[in-house]
Structure 1
Amino acid sequence: MKPSDEMLDIVDENDEVVGQARRGEATARRLRHRCVSVEVRDAEGRVFVHRRTPVKPVFPSCYDMFVGGVVGAGETYEEAALREAEEELGVTGLPRPEPLFRFLYTSAEHTWWTAVYQVRCESPVRPQAEEVAWHAFWDDARLERRLDGRAWVPDGLEAYRRLRAFRLPP
């Protein structure tokens, strides 16, 4: 099955399911659906950073500090977070990603509810070649320094900004 044929739940502004559509249609018609973004850290606490392949239909060749993707029809955020993390990293047996928060991402072209998670991956990664063109683990300082100099996926950048605010002490 092509990714564009994958069935997604279409949701309203409150993240309640109101229908279903194929992924290609949801993207083309800007139908609100669900996505997951998983921050992956290695044993040293560094963040997995990667560049998407140029054939990705959304945000091709952009950099991201999250792995993730769409939540399939009938799938939970939790199921999608683990599935997407293991698929994109090319590993099995990850611990269940820890949920942090959700937010509604909107732009002129896209709209989706994003659930943000974190997970530690202590296994060697073998990123999925169809998804990941380049990857590395960066410490937080290096990631911060590189935010302005590269083309980052806009929803990942928004999730990262919200994650930084989420982690600030009260």
Structure 2
Amino acid sequence: MTNPAEELLDVVDEHDRVIGTAPRGEVYRRGLTHRCVFILVSDRAGRIFVHRRTDTKLFAPGFHDMFVGGVVGAGETYASAAVREAEEELGVSGIEPRPLVKFLFRQEGLSWWCDLYEARWDGPVAPQESEVAWHAWLTPEELDARLARDAFVPDGLEAYRRYRELRPA
């Protein structure tokens, strides 16, 4: 497995147009705008897959997240990245994410385009150990309780706020 900091990413402008490529480590260090996907995965009962990121992650190590996902590789489409990331992180095959909304996330010198998806999965999962330190399927109410007490990734919080606007409880 290659070093995640060496993974090549497309660098994009404020209109999500590719203006170059750079290794992920450089993208993060220089605060270059790039692309990410977020997939909210729920089961038939409406429970949401929630996890805590491993402490080795380059961004927000040890934080909780209600999305699976990650960076879009250089030359990769958002849609193919959504499938790849969901299948890798959940350890499944055949997931079909549905696109919802795209937005530009900016915070403290960081920025990336976020393409938000939702997907349903009712089978077993085998989360990727290098990405996921803990996981559970939580009801929206259980997730709300965790949001009040645990640290969640900031981009995931923004994506979840937008998701709730699209899919009110």
Equivalent in the alignment of 1:14 = 15
* Structure 2: unaligned runs, 5 residues or longer: none
Residue 132 of structure 1 and its aligned partner are, at CA, apart by 0.2
Deviation digits for residues 91-135 of structure 1 (CA, Å, limit 9, x no counterpart): 1121x2000001100111421000000000111000000000000
Between the two proteins, the alignment pairs up a number of residues equal to 168
State how 1:14-33 maps to structure 2 within 5 Å.
14-33=15-34
* Distance change in 2, residues 1:82/1:26 (3 Å): same
Residue 143 of structure 1 and its aligned partner are, at CA, apart by 0.9
Residue 144 of structure 1 and its aligned partner are, at CA, apart by 1.5
Equivalent in the alignment of 1:116 = 116
Equivalent in the alignment of 2:152 = 152
Instruction: Find the residue that maps to 1:113 and give its secondary structure.
Output: strand
Stretches (4+) displaced over 6 A: none
Equivalent in the alignment of 1:76 = 77
Deviation digits for residues 23-65 of structure 1 (CA, Å, limit 9, x no counterpart): 1100010000000000001222210000000111100000000
C-alpha separation between the residues in 1 aligned to 2:90 and 2:55?
18
**1:154 corresponds to which letter in structure 2?**
P
Tell me the TM-score normalised to structure 1 length: 0.96
Equivalent in the alignment of 1:4 = 5
Equivalent in the alignment of 2:130 = 130
* Distance change in 2, residues 1:59/1:116 (3 Å): same
Q: Does 1:167 align with 2:164?
A: no
Q: Does 1:49 align with 2:60?
A: no
Give the CA RMSD over aligned residues.
Answer: 1.1
Residue 142 of structure 1 and its aligned partner are, at CA, apart by 1.1
Equivalent in the alignment of 2:97 = 97
142-151 vs 83-92, which deviates more? 142-151
C-alpha separation between the residues in 1 aligned to 2:166 and 2:44?
22
Tell me the TM-score normalised to structure 2 length: 0.96
144-153 vs 62-71, which deviates more? 144-153
C-alpha separation between the residues in 2 aligned to 1:52 and 1:145?
18
C-alpha separation between the residues in 2 aligned to 1:109 and 1:158?
16
C-alpha separation between the residues in 1 aligned to 2:131 and 2:109?
21
Deviation digits for residues 44-88 of structure 1 (CA, Å, limit 9, x no counterpart): 221000000011110000000000000000100000000000000
* Structure 1: unaligned runs, 5 residues or longer: none
Equivalent in the alignment of 2:87 = 86
User: Percent identity at matched positions?
Assistant: 55
